[in-house]
Chains A and B, each alone.
Chain A
Amino acid sequence: MSSPSDPRPSGVIHDIGYRPYTGERLGEGAVAWSLFRTGVRNCFGLGRSARSKVLPMSLLGAMLLPAVVLVAVLVQAGEVLGLTGQIVPYSRYALITQVVISVFVAAQAPALISRDLRFRTITLYLARPLRRSTYVLVRLASLLVAVFALVAAPLLVLYVGGLLAELPPARETELFLAALVGALLLAAVLSGLAALIAAVTTRRGLAVAGITVVLVVSYTVVTAVQGLGTEEGMPRLAEFAGLFSPYTLVDGVQVWLFDVAASTPAPPTGRTGVLFLLTALAVVAGCVVALLARYRKATVL
């Protein structure tokens, strides 16, 4: 420490051995990777308080539970009931459990994205060797992977169960992989839309409400129109209606690409399928572009 009682009134700066960090500095890639990992973990409440684990974990459980039950029935009573395939086809599972998925997306996307904007902690992120666009893409990727994990986990359970129940492995693998592609696309569309809405509103409650409205209302309207279309003999209308809800959109792409069991009464046929695929990709791309644009506007200070 400094020596006291020095009669001269001048000031001195003491060398107490301060040394700057001279070790290895990881680049932007490492920063992005750790941000990505934290994002995915936070979506499931890991690395946060106990209370924030409750919702995502219960939702994950809610997604897995039916799959476990189905597999149990298949394995135990498959022969008795004469089951030759999965009780619920892989491709239909996501649509059946869509409420759980919607709640997850609506609850977690704002927690991941709106919070930084609202409280301006984004400045902390951007003051690192991290470009703005990288930050946005990493956040989106975290959400996407989290949603994908949520959707794919029960599919994995079904697959393993199917193998245990001695269903033909080649066919099961084919169906499983097809469903995984569908799950990936679904995760992309959902997370793109949710992230965009969450980034636009910044108030968490409003973002949750907005995402819910978009996902739930679109699905209800689309099913109503599709039901109407098939019953009243307007198949084209029913097919096109499927474009307007993420769930039916992705389901349509799945059916058209892989010819799997459909969840909607009017899956696309022939060239309409191309439209579905293009729309899905366009939605994802559009959301990414819009997100990047929105963050460019976000004032940092």
Chain B
Amino acid sequence: MDLKVLRATIGKEFQIRLRAYPVDFMVGCILTSFYTVFGAWMMYHYFFRKRLATDFADLAGTSDYMSYAIVGSLVYLFVVRTCLNVSRRLITELREGTLESLMLAPFRRTSYFVGNMILQTIMTLGETVIAAIIGIFFGLRIHEFCLWKFITAVLLSLYGFFGLSLILGCVMIYARDTYVSQNTLFAAIFLVCGITFPKEYLPKILQMIGDIIPVTDSLTLIRSAFFGGLSTDRFIHIGIKVFIAGTVYVFTGLPLMKQLEKITLEKMEG
């Protein structure tokens, strides 16, 4: 990995974020997370009057529905933000007309994407913290915090999300569309990855789709760092699964992206 390119990418992206794009977008994302939490809160407190299904506690590993849903929506916010920006990067360069100059520069793909990911992670962390503070008002409580599990879970999740963004980026640059592909993926993640309800409620086939998206397992890990309910052996087992899935995504994503760039550059004017 080329550190110079990495630093330059972070610097460049930060400038772009600061100067060209307004704060609206950030506010928009926090609002999205707020709505999800708010919807869950309404359902829990007003619609069903705190009456949970009997199997919820077993499946979720905690009987605190609000904390369960809030942690889910925070992770969802994280996925949406990182995937959105990392995978949209190249197609945005194409639209802004800078893709050609980027390709002419001594540009290293890995450093470029990792740089984007790092910047995005830092920015999203800020947003997640704000969203978490909102979450506390809606009843977010941490029952059994475990630091090493938390750090491991976050690092593994970032790796998995990075892989996912690369694949989404490939789809975007191939279809030259960001709107439909990103929103379809996000809607699907919301459904199959157990964001606000345990994925065991879903039919088998949807559960299988959920299993190949690293978000599901990352979420299980992060939740267990907050609420417990998962043995260390099981934690390590799921952690390895996320790592393998992430590796598969990253190592198919990067070469595929390289191939697709060529196609894009060829038909750029078409």
Tell whether A and B belong to one assembly.
Answer: no
A residues whose Cβ falls under 8 Å from a Cβ of B: none
B residues whose Cβ falls under 8 Å from a Cβ of A: none
